[in-house]
Amino acid sequence: MIRVDSVWHHYGIRPVLKDVSFTVETGELVVILGPNGTGKSTLLGCLGGILSPIRGSIAFHGVNRRESVEGEREIRKRVAYLPDDAWMPRDVTGREYLIAIGRLYGVDDFRAFEHVNRLLALFHLGTKQDALIGGYSTGQRKKLALAGTLIAETPYLLLDEPFSGGLDPAGIQAVKKVLKKLADDQGITVVITTPVPEIIEELADRVVVLRDGSVVAYETPAGIKQLAGESRLDDALTRLMYPETMDGIDQYMRDEHSEQGESR
């Protein structure tokens, strides 16, 4: 379980996250969504431990992030975090990179070798496995970065924009299916950001909707539609994230109908 409790984060004096609270149950797949610049990556960075909130706390399995050396070490073993612009070494091969991450997370070598083969097959990286990462395409690097989070075999996965960065349709499909299965069948707790409503509808158990650094909704996709009074998830999310946009569309359609009525 992840508990985010009254988290505030500032860059300089500007608050970016304002009193953010929510709880992710074990085995849930939660999507964080919001307009550009609203604080999604900042929130995931706080969860991932690369940023320290100025107020509030984040706990994994009851252990607070960045509170004690032992607690933080325990969390780091259990959490794999992938930023949207993950750094990757250029002068090691894809296979070496994955094995090194497995070792870092204490995965038995024999198990890691077998898992690496399955990951390379999953992402169609077999032909590149012994090539230096510096020669990978953008999409191939993204696939390797995602494989790097899966090889860690952690009970928590935090992935910033896992479906962006040049993934091809087969890669998107692979990531969707694997994340859903990990959450549903293995009880892995997954938190991701993605702006794509179709993916949210297909994957999300619950959605954190952020607007201007605050949580405006934390609901299932069905709950989001009900809350916004819309039958489609994309309309519901737009209404919650950009209320003025939906009001503007409603107004435009009303004006058009009344003009048509007058001219008849």
Ligand X SMILES: Nc1ncnc2c1ncn2[C@@H]1O[C@H](COP(=O)(O)OP(=O)(O)OP(=O)(O)O)[C@@H](O)[C@H]1O
Provide the binding-site residues for ligand X, judged by CB under 6 A: 11, 16, 34, 36-42
Give all strands of the β-sheet with 14-24 in edge-to-edge order: 14-24, 2-11, 55-60, 63-64
Report in angstroms how near the CB of residue 52 gets to ligand X at its nearest.
Answer: 13
Q: Which is nearer to ligand X, 36 or 231 (CB)?
A: 36
Among 184, 189, 178, smallest CA distance to 156 is for: 189
Cβ-based nearer residue to ligand X, 41 or 129: 41
Q: Provide the minimum distance between the beta carbon of 92 and ligand X in the complex, in angstroms, as a whole number.
A: 28
Of the two residues 40 and 65, which places its CB atom closer to ligand X in the complex? 40
Q: Return the closest-CA partner of residue 94 out of 135, 43, 46, 40.
A: 135
How far apart are the two ends of the chain, measured CA to CA in Å?
61
Minimum distance, C-beta of residue 11 to ligand X, in the bound complex (Å): 3
When the beta carbons of 15 and 71 are compared against ligand X, the nearer one is: 15
- What's the full length of the chain, in residues? 264
Q: Which residues, 6 or more positions from 34, have their beta carbon under 8 angstroms from its beta carbon?
A: 40, 209, 210, 211, 241
Output the smallest distance, CB 259 to ligand X, in A. 37
